[in-house]
A = this chain, B = another copy of it.
Amino acid sequence: MNRYDSFLSAAARVMQESAIRRMGAVLGKGPEVISFAPGYPDPSTFPWEHFRATAADLLSGTDGSVLQYGPTRGFKPLLGAIVEILESRGITAATDELLVTTGSQQGLDLVARVLIDPGDVVLVELPSYVGALSAFNNVQASLVGVRQEADGIDLDHLDEVVGRLRAEGRRARILYVVPNFQNPTGLLIGTDKRTRLLEWAERNDFLIVEDDPYRDLYFDAVSEPDIRPIKADDRNGRVVYMSSFSKTLAPGFRVAWIVAPGPLAAKFELAKQAEDLCTGGFDQRMVYEAYRRGWLTRQIPMLRRHYQQKRDVMAAALDRELGDLISYAQPRGGFFLWATLPEHVSADTMLDAALRHGVVYVAGSAFFVDGSGHNTLRLCFSAPTPERIEEGVSRLAATIREAAEKPRAAAASPGRY
């Protein structure tokens, strides 16, 4: 309580720090800590040469609009490029359904502001992406979790949850999912399940918010049909789709996009107008040139190899060092490996010890809206080098073995998001 509390809006009073951003601060504490925490891409994969050459062209001064304010919807040629990218994913989108956003996080925030009133229920996966949870939390949504199976969200549980909410008379119209290499679990929603989700949305008058930042980063044994967006088969305007250039180019340019039925896209535009007027002009042009000059496309196979190799290194190290103590499903793409510890070991409580051992992760409970998941953790393999992944897993193994040997009474109650 301080003297400014009386000035705060109801929304501000419930705002909470994201566990991932908190871990980001820990990461800043020095190179001696190996971080499996934030989902950062590896800067060594960024196309620096191309960026440098393009920046020199864009900043020649011949086109003043490069550094001017621009349209809220986005830089027109970039919108055209995104239409083509969407086409390659099976999605047909008109320009009036499209909006460039200042990172995907802004897309989530626009969804929250435009579609959610305080107290409205938003359905999310158990576990789910904390950035989305923050955005929904900041408009005072009531977050309700739906379990996941090996092939993603559990449709039976979904029906059960919706039935219960209806019986309680609560307004629930939005389902948020990350179908491809989910953050944090790395899971894929099965092909057949995607079709059934669309039918479910139509039957129950829901909108599906489909967040798809990792889809290009798939590994062996995954092919395009496995990652076909739900939006690609959305005949009835039930899906709001978002994706990003942060994982395939660089997050330092804050450029992502959102596709939605025209009337909703128009509202997202109005919300964005008051949020930041427009996404940075230079950033948008850098991304557009990456597309136009062809090096975005050429970048992607290299990224798949790069991140797959790191996944392999982490998985092998975990099997070797912790095979008897943890379980996990091999991620088939993306940045994350989701591990489950013995029931009596709390990843929250263990975090201090992990730091002492020089390794950090995100405790899984941060991703659960129902207070569960205390014995889970998210390990991000994208940023560290293979050598540091090996070393980090060794440190983690030492930490987990210590924790597992403690008497059970020492395990604390799970943290809540």
A63-122 interface (Cβ within 8 A of B): 64-72, 102-103, 105-106, 108-109, 112-117, 120
Residue of B nearest to A101 (CB): B276
Residues of B near A105 (CB, < 8 A) are 274-277
A109 contact from B49, B137, B275, Cβ within 8 A: B275
Question: Measured between alpha carbons, how far is A51 from B137 in the docked complex, in Å?
Answer: 39
Judge whether A251 and B64 touch: CB under 8 Å: no
Cβ of A61 within 8 Å of any chain B Cβ, yes or no, is: yes
Judge whether A66 and B9 touch: CB under 8 Å: no
Q: Mark A155-178, 1 if CB is under 8 A from B, else 0.
A: 000000000000000000100000
Residue of B nearest to A38 (CB): B69
Cβ of A44 within 8 Å of any chain B Cβ, yes or no, is: yes
Cβ of A131 within 8 Å of any chain B Cβ, yes or no, is: yes
Residues of B near A137 (CB, < 8 A) are 274
Given contacts A9-B139, A25-B71, whether A16 and B48 have CB atoms under 8 Å apart is no
Residues of B near A28 (CB, < 8 A) are 71
A2-40 interface (Cβ within 8 A of B): 2-5, 7-12, 15-18, 21, 24-25, 28, 38, 40
Q: Mark A40-60, 1 if CB is under 8 A from B, else 0.
A: 110110101101100110011
Question: Measured between alpha carbons, how far is A49 from B10 in the docked complex, in Å?
Answer: 47
Cβ of A351 within 8 Å of any chain B Cβ, yes or no, is: no
Selecting from A278-286, A292-300, A397-405, the interface stretch reads A278-286
Residues of B near A4 (CB, < 8 A) are 237, 261, 263-264
Question: Measured between alpha carbons, how far is A139 from B12 in the docked complex, in Å?
Answer: 12
Cβ of A267 within 8 Å of any chain B Cβ, yes or no, is: yes
Residues of B near A339 (CB, < 8 A) are none
A114-156 interface (Cβ within 8 A of B): 114-117, 120, 131, 134-135, 137-139
Given contacts A134-B274, A283-B280, whether A267 and B15 have CB atoms under 8 Å apart is yes
Cβ of A326 within 8 Å of any chain B Cβ, yes or no, is: no
Judge whether B280 and A252 touch: CB under 8 Å: yes
Cβ of A413 within 8 Å of any chain B Cβ, yes or no, is: no
Residues of B near A17 (CB, < 8 A) are 270, 273
Residues of B near A112 (CB, < 8 A) are 274
Question: Measured between alpha carbons, how far is A278 from B271 in the docked complex, in Å?
Answer: 18
A239-291 interface (Cβ within 8 A of B): 250-254, 261, 263-264, 267, 270-271, 273-283
Judge whether B267 and A280 touch: CB under 8 Å: no
Please give the distance in Å from A35's CB to the nearest CB on chain B. Answer: 12
Please give the distance in Å from A7's CB to the nearest CB on chain B. Answer: 6
Judge whether A252 and B102 touch: CB under 8 Å: no
Residues of B near A69 (CB, < 8 A) are 24, 38, 40, 251-252
Residues of B near A276 (CB, < 8 A) are 102-103, 105-106, 109, 254, 276
A9 contact from B38, B59, B113, Cβ within 8 A: B113
Question: Measured between alpha carbons, how far is A276 from B251 in the docked complex, in Å?
Answer: 11
Q: List 6 A-B contacts (CB under 8 A).
A: A4-B261, A7-B264, A12-B267, A66-B252, A67-B250, A67-B253
Identify the 8 closest CB pairs spanning chains A and B, nearest first: A43-B64, A67-B252, A48-B61, A252-B281, A67-B250, A55-B55, A15-B270, A134-B274
Point out residues on A near B: beta carbons under 8 Å: 2-5, 7-12, 15-18, 21, 24-25, 28, 38, 40-41, 43-44, 46, 48-49, 51-52, 55-56, 59-61, 64-72, 102-103, 105-106, 108-109, 112-117, 120, 131, 134-135, 137-139, 173, 207, 237, 250-254, 261, 263-264, 267, 270-271, 273-283
